[in-house]
Amino acid sequence: MIPGLKGRNFVSVTDFSRSEIEQVIQLAIRLKTEFKAGKTHSYLAGQTMAMIFQKPSLRTRVSFETGMTQLGGHAIYLAPTDISLGQRETTEDIAVVLGRMTNLIMARVFGHNIVQDLARYAGVPVINGLSDFEHPCQIIADLQTIQEHKGRLAGLHAIYTGDGNNVAHSLMYGAARTGMHLTVVTPPGFEPTPKVIKESQEIARDTGARINVSNDLLKSAQGADVVYTDVWASMGQESEAQSRKAKFRDYQINAKLLAVMDSHAIILHCLPAHYGEEIDYETSRTPHSVIFDQAENRLHAQKAIMVALAAPA
């Protein structure tokens, strides 16, 4: 389907080249268009995907499970109580067993090392449905959404405001890979990991992208085409939620921010949203918002990833 991708893992956005990301996006758009026109697909007929969840999720479970069904395959949900990773069994043993019984593995986990170990030992394609370090499937859906609404990726000016978390990491890699300029804007002390800053800027040298980190939201947003945010406290950081509110309050997407951006700017949020914190409700419902297109595209982007990694030649 896409030369060179069959049988590979998707643990990090950096696992795909610029050309491969662009081809996956185009495949996602085609699958979406054909599905909405009533065409059925059987690319993964007879295949089974194991879905490992350490963290609960609405969009990740529904999009992957629905996607496998729409592609003719079957998905098995494995809850945290079904697989106690590293406790009842080693990650290596779980990976080997699932690799002998299924065709694909998707894992939504805490530690990034878990999904790396699954990929190392499974012998079948492993997809990172989220780890504390990266959220690559989300970013493929995000890039698809931007492509659909803006007609291109390269040369656009995007900003991300909020916590320098796993979403920010993958977005930095994705922007760098596709030639999209990105400034990640955080309160002091919440910047992305230095490793990701360094690596994404190195990647950007080959694509003409500019990847920057700032603490000044209004300055960074001047004339921007895209603004993206995420919750201020991610799953596992609930104890910090209250203290973060005071530190992040000037990093909200609202009417004041939109006023300095391009008049045709679009708003992204990977959801769930905490209205009144990282974005106010009114702004989330303006014509600028493509949040629910973005959420839907998790389905189509992940279908494209699964087809690219596992469909028979």
Query: Does 244 participate in catalysis according to the annotation?
Result: no
Q: Which of 108, 157, 177, 288 is catalytic?
A: 108
State the CB neighbour count (10 A cutoff) for residue 189: 8
DSSP structure class, residue 192: P
Helix (H) or strand (E) holding 226: strand 226-229
DSSP lists the bridge partners of residue 128 as 107
Q: Which of 177, 244, 288, 298 is catalytic?
A: 298
Query: Does 112 participate in catalysis according to the annotation?
Result: no
Q: Which of 135, 181, 269, 288 is catalytic?
A: 135
Q: Which of 132, 230, 244, 262 is catalytic?
A: 230
Selection from 138, 147, 124 nearest residue 169 by Cα: 138
Alpha-helical segments (H) within 104-165: 112-121, 136-150
Query: Does 138 participate in catalysis according to the annotation?
Result: yes
Q: How many CA atoms lie within 13 A of 309 on its CB side?
A: 27
Q: Which of 54, 116, 138, 302 is catalytic?
A: 138
Structure tokens, 220: 């960074």
**CA-CA distance, 194 to 182, in Å (whole number)?**
16
Query: Does 249 participate in catalysis according to the annotation?
Result: no
**CA-CA distance, 38 to 71, in Å (whole number)?**
13
- Strands lying side by side in the sheet with 266-269: 211-214, 181-185, 157-161, 226-229, 266-269
Look at the chain and count its residues.
313
Cα Dmax for the chain? 55
Contact call for residues 70 and 44 (beta carbons, < 8 A): no
Query: Does 230 participate in catalysis according to the annotation?
Result: yes
Give Cα separations from 301 to 94, 180, 198, 229 (angstroms).
27, 19, 27, 20
Q: Which are the contacts of 238, defined by CB distance < 8 A and separation ≥ 6?
A: none
Q: Which of 23, 262, 270, 300 is catalytic?
A: 270
State the CB neighbour count (10 A cutoff) for residue 243: 10
**CA-CA distance, 268 to 33, in Å (whole number)?**
21
Query: Does 177 participate in catalysis according to the annotation?
Result: no
Residues labelled catalytic? 108, 135, 138, 230, 270, 298
